[in-house]
Structure 1
């Protein structure tokens, strides 16, 4: 691979690894830096690596987490970090303490020096409002998490005071963002050996959303895992299409293994999870220029409301009322076993997969709005009719059947949402992105995200006809009328399957 070099920090980091007892690294790999701007440091194969070969081993005592950090040398603080402090808050405190206070005396100093410098990442937390606006109409804008991050910053400042760590009083918002962003992009969830039996199950690899983490409020002691920085493992780039290595957890080591043959000169790629390009950008600060294998676009509920009103001729208020009853009815909630159908948005996959909840909602809408005098239904009548329509709608969708009107409505919804995307997003990203920096790079990444979402919408435009069997609209009306007659005669037919089949 061209455009690579080994800088002084990388050399010192490699020397630190080699001097670490128990650390092992294959002679077949090399850690290099990229002169092309976006790759950063990464691993390449110096010669052919066979599937199953161990690339390196990291001893557990060299993971950076609340169990091993300098801050936990104080027994009382360690117990607090393990037993009552959330994963994110604990690791942010530990990382800030190591960088700001321990400094060059830290045994992890050589490792900390190869982590991104302040402001050196492209995650969405660093984007200005104007730059974030380039991502409209992507729903990722609503998931950047600035408010949640601000709340966490307040909690960490309060926690540091509670622990008597007065030196944290000078910690700025920017320093917190740097630490939290590095943790989001670089940390792994690592099972704690001989830990207390976890209350909740948790995946042992991968990164979490720090705003979601707060909602769970778990700790190392209750969850049985520790959010950890894994030296060298976090130097691997990731690619949903090219992943050829995987981190394996054992009792004493974390091992990176090849899961495919890797030719000499090829980059070694990890896997960060089934994330769309928008989510890769938000969490890790990069995009896959050809699109993620797991790209999705979200159809917002407001687009469904507007398109349904236009297609059926119903008023916006009536459509909203129907959705509100569908969402708030205790009868329908009981039938659905508390699994809601009405969501703020619905995913469309690059493979043409449409959220089954979305298809079911559309079937319910076109069916209920086709009933005579639906405008005059009071809440009780509307609720009962919606319950019957929901039962039939689920029965149809679970059997891969929908009525023709659902197809027409779906196409109108997709076209309406596509109109919200800027015209430039329908053009391919130019190939010079490797040389771009700053706002120009962010502009190209935003366009790449939008292009990925457009591809998802276009692929889903026709997939509903491909994947579902079509029925005449009169079919569901006849079923509804028959069920109404059966109910009035006192019969109680067997209800259809409740759960949605994915």
Structure 2
């Protein structure tokens, strides 16, 4: 898209938005082109803005959802269960909003949201659209197994395409599209919903003091909606604006002083860069504090067997004695990051301060059972906590070995100009995970060394007393 076309679409969208009954847009901010840093559109301050300033207001009836779109009136059967069979069930909120977005797209100029739809992205950098070669840059990151492309396309083919093909007079101009064209459009709208849609709190919903009422819904249990202008805001782990919801409108306000030229930033939550990439197709340096690494239980078992010299048959016998419903397959290693300050800034550094509690509990239970199965496996001289730490060290070493490059090699690669945008993001995701693994490895290794020193000191003192 040319700069002129991009600017023209932005201007048409802003004019449309300002004309909405109940909408406001402060003259202290403007929409800008941030494509030079792969950030699409964004909103920046034209002058210094004090905290608690209203930046813009969005009327609720301007949100695209199943209550405001005419699709529900035309095809009510899609939004209400018609029987017990899978194909007779109502569309969940995720599928429904994708279909609504496709419907509004096919309406073209007849859609009252046409200027808004025109500024939504045409392409995405989420891994859903990556080639196998691009995905290989993620190496051992668990992100590779969370893309869900096949499941998404199955839903498109079994629920959305039949609805469109069965109602050509409703989905006007859709007849010119092949099934593959429709799959492509569904992917585009699905990614749009993934990146921008909010879970809409309604009057029947129970009040939740822990929720601001505007969080993404990925479970299909709530009404979802596309919120014009709110999704023009980019987001980061440190932010300066907040979306407040009222009965009739949403109000975006500054939560601290914003200097002229600064970007207005929203907050999507404490997501690791891997999740930002999967959902939204971007990453940020500040979100690296929330990076995570998945620890498979089989890696922990392997390390424990190696640490204690446990035969495979003994480990299998031990695991059979445990309640299978209580066993976890995956554990999440993360830093203790704390909550952001009320003004959107970090409260303090993020640090590794221990083993994931659920992993510690399962590992301790396993060691206890191993002792019952074979009392000779564990020396009385070894404390259980020492075994936990040593096993954790070996587990982290094993997981790190599954990445095909080192931290140093990734840093050298990032210093070069040979990477594409997607490759660079993948390298930064895997590098963030490796740095977390290294921090955790150092943390537990230091504890193991200290424990050994304490044990040696205690042994020496005991020997002197016995002389």
What TM-score, normalized by structure 2, do the two folds share? Answer: 0.79
Q: 1:258 to 1:471 in 2, by over 3 A?
A: same
Q: 1:324 to 1:264 in 2, by over 3 A?
A: farther
Candidates 98, 111, 125, aligned match of 1:106 = 111
Gaps spanning 5+ residues in structure 2: where?
A: 82-88, 336-349, 378-382, 453-467
CA contact (8 A) 1:24 1:56 kept: yes
1:259-296 superposed Cα distances (whole Å, 9 cap, x missing partner) = 12111111111111221111110000011135533111
Q: 1:64 to 1:239 in 2, by over 3 A?
A: same
Match in the other structure for 2:356: 355
Match in the other structure for 2:267: 271
Q: Distance in 2 between matches of 1:288 and 1:321?
A: 46
- 1:387-406 matches, within 5 Å, as 403-406=385-388
Partner SS for 2:263: coil
1:204 aligns with 2:213: yes
Q: Over the residues paired in the alignment, what is the CA RMSD in angstroms?
A: 3.5
Partner SS for 1:130: helix
Match in the other structure for 1:478: none
Partner SS for 1:369: helix
CA contact (8 A) 2:407 2:435 kept: no
Q: Distance in 2 between matches of 1:162 and 1:63?
A: 26
Partner SS for 1:297: strand
Candidates 249, 254, 262, aligned match of 2:250 = 254
Match in the other structure for 2:404: 422
Q: Distance in 1 between matches of 2:405 and 2:79?
A: 55
Q: Distance in 2 between matches of 1:341 and 1:372?
A: 18
1:185 aligns with 2:188: no
Number of residue pairs the alignment of both structures matches = 415
Match in the other structure for 1:484: none
**Offset, 1:126:** 0.5
Match in the other structure for 2:347: none
1:442-470 superposed Cα distances (whole Å, 9 cap, x missing partner) = 111111011111121122224458899x9
CA contact (8 A) 1:305 1:316 kept: no
Match in the other structure for 2:48: 48
Q: 1:19 to 1:418 in 2, by over 3 A?
A: same
Candidates 222, 225, 243, aligned match of 1:228 = 225
Gaps spanning 5+ residues in structure 1: where?
A: 334-339, 377-400, 473-502
Match in the other structure for 1:154: 157
Candidates 86, 92, 111, aligned match of 1:86 = 92
**Offset, 1:154:** 2.8
CA contact (8 A) 1:69 1:94 kept: yes
Match in the other structure for 1:138: 141
Q: 1:76 to 1:290 in 2, by over 3 A?
A: closer
**Offset, 1:77:** 5.4
CA contact (8 A) 2:78 2:91 kept: no
CA contact (8 A) 2:58 2:228 kept: yes
Q: 1:174 to 1:317 in 2, by over 3 A?
A: farther
CA contact (8 A) 1:307 1:413 kept: yes
1:104-129 superposed Cα distances (whole Å, 9 cap, x missing partner) = 22111111010001xx1111110122
Candidates 421, 424, 430, aligned match of 1:444 = 424
Q: Distance in 1 between matches of 2:423 and 2:31?
A: 30
Q: 1:79 to 1:121 in 2, by over 3 A?
A: closer
Partner SS for 2:295: strand
Match in the other structure for 1:237: 234
**Offset, 1:155:** 3.6
Match in the other structure for 1:68: 68
CA contact (8 A) 1:301 1:346 kept: no
**Offset, 1:421:** 1.4
**Offset, 1:308:** 1.5
Match in the other structure for 2:132: 129
Q: 1:467 to 1:279 in 2, by over 3 A?
A: farther
- 1:25-44 matches, within 5 Å, as 25-44=25-44
Match in the other structure for 1:495: none
Match in the other structure for 2:439: 459
Q: 1:417 to 1:15 in 2, by over 3 A?
A: same
**Offset, 1:158:** 6.2
Which segment is superposed worse, 314-323 or 48-57?
314-323
**Offset, 1:369:** 3.3
Q: Distance in 2 between matches of 1:175 and 1:59?
A: 28
CA contact (8 A) 1:59 1:253 kept: yes
**Offset, 1:204:** 2.6
Q: Distance in 2 between matches of 1:348 and 1:320?
A: 29
Q: 1:124 to 1:252 in 2, by over 3 A?
A: same
Q: 1:432 to 1:87 in 2, by over 3 A?
A: farther
